[in-house]
Amino acid sequence: MASFEETFHQPNNSVQKKSSRIIGYDVPEGVDIRGRYDPEFSKILTRDALQFVVDLQREFRNHIKYAMECRKEAKMRYNCGGLPGFDPTTKYIREGEWMCAPVPQAVADRRVEITGPPERKMIIDALNSGAKVFMADLEDALSPSWENLMRSHINLRDAINGTITFHDQARNKVYKLNDQTAKLFVRPRGWHLPEAHIFIDGEPATGCLVDFGLYFIQNHANFRKTQGQGFGPFFYLPKMEHSREARIWNNVFERAEKWAGIEEGSIRATVLIETLPAVFQLNEILYELRDHSVGLNCGRWDYIFSYLKTVQAQPDRILPDRVQVGMNQHFMRSYSDLLIHTCHKRGVHAMGGMAAHIPISDDPEANEASLQLVRKDKLREAKAGHDGTWVAHPGLIPSCMEVFTSIMGNLPNQIHTMKRQDASILDEEDLLQRPRGVCTLEGLRLNTRVGIQYLAAWLTGVGCVPLYNFLEDAAAAEISRVQIWQWLKYGAELDGDGFGVKVNADLFGRVVEEEMARIEREVGNEKFKKGMYQEACKLFTRLCTASVLDDFMTLDAYNYIVIHHPIGLSRL
Ligand SMILES: CC(=O)SCCNC(=O)CCNC(=O)[C@H](O)C(C)(C)COP(=O)(O)OP(=O)(O)OC[C@H]1O[C@@H](n2cnc3c(N)ncnc32)[C@H](O)[C@@H]1OP(=O)(O)O
Ligand SMILES: O=CC(=O)O
Ligand SMILES: [Mg+2]
């Protein structure tokens, strides 16, 4: 079969050769759009917008390639037994007296932030939810099919224009925005993900430059008027591993501000600290973005995934069951404390992480127990000095708001009141302390069940799903995948539930078979047959048993959605 570089695809899944390309979009020199034509999409993919993306791509592609090469070199060092640590050459930044630009008034108070993919109804629900911020996610929560991507941009544009509506025909309910809405942040994809439907100079465009460029061009003026009180747009930046990657973002922002003729420092971004190497670069990342920063966030799920990847060559660092790796582990708590200290020293927000719980609608008792766990976790965050936190579902907002308000009162944040000087002494040993806990057969089963079901959803264009009363997105599913890979590679002993068996290919094969049967029972025979469970199982099994660990499962899965082009299943 031809690769996606050689072919492009029609919505009906037929594949046409390049020579019979449909002409539709008005593209600048060097641009080849391989996604289907739609007059609605063409209002996003204007010639000006595409020219802006092309300019960004040409200016920054070599910097991005270099940064990705550096990631590979660092990985080689870790795979030879090295560990990440503080960089002696940037000690002057860590110890220097400098501050980030003051936080804009519009986003001073971020005590509860809700996240979600830019689905039309969900955007309206999230903006109306009572949360202070809505982070519209093109990353962990989005399966970036062409349809999803384009519809996300349409939805975001309409949200910022204030014209977004949604008619739920089944319930005959019309959704529209309230007068008071949450502030909108957008999370573009990570540096590693290509956008295979837009080729620039013969190469797939960089996914996040497409996300940023199309969104910025379309919305910067309206956003600054209606949302940002003169600032913005606002972004969340994911999965960075080093400050050199933050420097590229800073340069992209400067370039965009110049292009739009707006003041330097208008665009603001919160960086997710969600890779193990990045925790040793907190100051350096803030320093690079000091004119564009609104803080850092504990992206705790990807952080665990990154921990696993970074120590993949070290058999003495086997991670216990996923459910046991909470913020009470010393290495996780140290990461959160150091992040708070660093952000507040530099005058910006230190945001907490996502509680993966979602409401359990059919069991009030279980729901209350789950809410209690969320409250406890959020209370720990607020007391530690975080300025706000994330929720995945509107049902959690009132409790989390209450918890943060009980600690912060009327103050918009804790930037000036919780310096956490005590955390300044946290060192490499604290940040790398081995996690404690046990591995269980049930843990292996759960990882398998969740990983396959998540991938099955992703392959049909759904990037975030409720599974067993928790939200599952790309970050969470990656933990399941890499944990199985690690357990298989080192023959982890599943002694936590008294079975005492070692993980090997035979055991995993049996578990996959049994868990597939369980999934079929749970989702029902018809859905199972119609869905992508077999494909997901094949892909997940390959990823878990690969001799060399894949950096991201979404890269392999992306090839699949580019070739098979899910359409009609997207909820966007
Ligand atoms: C590790 C990380 O990166 S976390 C960040 C990425 N992950 C996310 O953003 C997860 C976001 N959350 C979600 O996508 C959803 O909550 C899910 C998929 C987990 C569950 O969604 P559903 O099954 O639709 O939940 P449920 O049926 O309980 O929804 C009830 C209502 O809440 C709304 N809702 C649920 N989640 C959200 C949300 N995050 N934002 C806005 N509205 C929401 C639903 O649209 C529905 O609205 P309606 O009553 O108007 O129809
Ligand atoms: O993006 C957030 C995370 O926890 O990962
Ligand atoms: Mg993440």
Per-residue pLDDT tens over the stretch 164-191: 999 999 999 999 999 999 999 999 999 9
Phi/psi at 317 (nearest 5 deg)? -120, 40
3-state secondary structure of 354: strand
Give the pLDDT band of residue 13 (cuts 50, 70, 90): very low
Nearest CA among 396, 327, 326, 397 for reference residue 360: 396
The pLDDT assigned to 355 comes to 87
pLDDT of 73 higher than 50 = yes
Ligand 1 center to 235 CA (angstroms): 20
Residue tagged 């060399």 (tokens): 548
Domains 50-431 and 441-564 alike in fold = no
Specify burial of residue 226 (Cβ count, 10 A radius: 0-12, 13-18, 19+): middle
Say if ligand 1 is within 6 A of residue 354 CB. yes
Nearest CA among 266, 230, 178, 195 for reference residue 4: 195
Buried residues in 332-363 as b, exposed as e (16+ CB within 10 A) = bbbbbbbbbbbbbbbbbbbbbbbbbbbbbeee
For the CA of 476, the closest atom of ligand 2 is: 5
The pLDDT assigned to 312 comes to 97
**Strand pairing of 183-187 and 133-137?**
parallel
C-alpha–C-alpha distance, residues 295 and 340, integer Å: 10
Neighbours of 108 (CB within 10 A): 16
Which option is the CATH number for 441-564: 3.40.50.140, 1.10.3720.10, 1.20.1050.10, 1.20.1220.12? 1.20.1220.12
pTM of the model: 0.95
C-alpha–C-alpha distance, residues 543 and 548, integer Å: 9
For the CA of 305, the closest atom of ligand 2 is: 5
- Find out whether 3 and 24 touch, Cβ atoms under 8 Å: no
Ligand 1 center to 464 CA (angstroms): 8
| Token pair for 504 | 């090997």
pLDDT of 375 higher than 50 = yes
Percent of all residues in the chain with a pLDDT value above 90, rounded to a whole number: 92
Specify burial of residue 202 (Cβ count, 10 A radius: 0-12, 13-18, 19+): exposed
Nearest CA among 314, 303, 318 for reference residue 478: 303
Ligand 2 site-directed mutation target among 115, 274, 298, 391, most atoms within 8 Å of CB: 274
| Token pair for 240 | 């960075």
The pLDDT assigned to 536 comes to 97
| Token pair for 204 | 């797939």
The pLDDT assigned to 498 comes to 79
C-alpha–C-alpha distance, residues 459 and 375, integer Å: 34
Q: What is the pLDDT of residues 309-344, one digit of tens each?
A: 999 999 999 999 999 999 999 999 999 999 999 999
Positive or negative: CA dihedral 486, 461, 270, 213? positive
- In sequence order, what E strands does 452-497 have? 465-467, 470-472, 493-494
- Find out whether 244 and 70 touch, Cβ atoms under 8 Å: yes
- Find out whether 397 and 359 touch, Cβ atoms under 8 Å: no
CA dihedral 453, 455, 458, 459 (to 10 degrees): -110
Buried residues in 230-250 as b, exposed as e (16+ CB within 10 A) = ebbbbbbbbbbbbbbbbbbbb
Q: Give the active site residues.
A: 187, 473
Q: Average pLDDT of 212-224?
A: 97
pLDDT of 157 higher than 80 = yes
3-state secondary structure of 96: coil
Specify burial of residue 463 (Cβ count, 10 A radius: 0-12, 13-18, 19+): buried
Q: What is the pLDDT of residues 515-542, one digit of tens each?
A: 999 999 999 999 999 999 999 999 999 9
C-alpha–C-alpha distance, residues 60 and 63, integer Å: 5
Q: What is the mean pLDDT of the chain?
A: 94
The pLDDT assigned to 564 comes to 78
Higher pLDDT, 112 or 562: 112
The pLDDT assigned to 570 comes to 52
Q: What is the pLDDT of residues 400-451, one digit of tens each?
A: 999 999 999 999 999 999 999 999 999 999 999 999 999 999 999 999 999 9
Q: Average pLDDT of 339-367?
A: 96
Nearest CA among 300, 278, 305 for reference residue 454: 305
| Token pair for 45 | 């993919």
Q: What is the pLDDT of residues 230-262, one digit of tens each?
A: 999 999 999 999 999 999 999 999 999 999 999
pLDDT of 499 higher than 80 = no
| Token pair for 193 | 């993900």
Q: Which ligand is closest in space to the CA of residue 190?
A: 3
Say if ligand 2 is within 6 A of residue 353 CB. yes
Give the pLDDT band of residue 7 (cuts 50, 70, 90): very low
Residues in the chain, how many? Answer: 572
Q: Average pLDDT of 143-162?
A: 97
Ligand 3 center to 32 CA (angstroms): 30
Going from N- to C-terminal start, the domains of the chain cover 7-42, 50-431, 441-564
Ligand 1 site-directed mutation target among 114, 120, 122, 391, most atoms within 8 Å of CB: 122
Q: What is the DSSP letter of 36?
A: P
What pairs with residue 347 in β-bridges?
A: none
What pairs with residue 244 in β-bridges?
A: none
| Token pair for 151 | 């519809």
Cis peptide before 117 (omega within 30 of 0): no
Neighbours of 18 (CB within 10 A): 12
Name residues with Cβ closer than 5 Å to ligand 3, which is an ion: 140, 274, 299, 302, 475
Buried residues in 414-452 as b, exposed as e (16+ CB within 10 A) = bbeebebeebeebeeebbbeebebebbbebbebbbbbbb
C-alpha–C-alpha distance, residues 155 and 255, integer Å: 25
Name the residue at shortest CA distance from atom 1 of ligand 2: 299
Ligand 3 center to 177 CA (angstroms): 28
User: Which superfamily does CATH assign the domain made up of 50-431 to?
Assistant: Malate synthase, domain 3 (3.20.20.360)
Ligand 3 center to 40 CA (angstroms): 30
Q: Which ligand is closest in space to the CA of residue 472?
A: 1
What ipTM does this complex have? 0.99
pLDDT of 3 higher than 70 = no
Say if ligand 2 is within 6 A of residue 377 CB. no
C-alpha–C-alpha distance, residues 227 and 308, integer Å: 39
Give the pLDDT band of residue 8 (cuts 50, 70, 90): very low
Q: What is the pLDDT of residues 93-125, one digit of tens each?
A: 999 999 999 999 999 999 999 999 999 999 999
Ligand 3 center to 39 CA (angstroms): 33
Percent of all residues in the chain with a pLDDT value above 70, rounded to a whole number: 95
Ligand 1 site-directed mutation target among 113, 125, 186, 300, most atoms within 8 Å of CB: 125
Nearest CA among 287, 260, 268, 246 for reference residue 105: 268
pLDDT of 504 higher than 70 = yes
Say if ligand 2 is within 6 A of residue 140 CB. yes
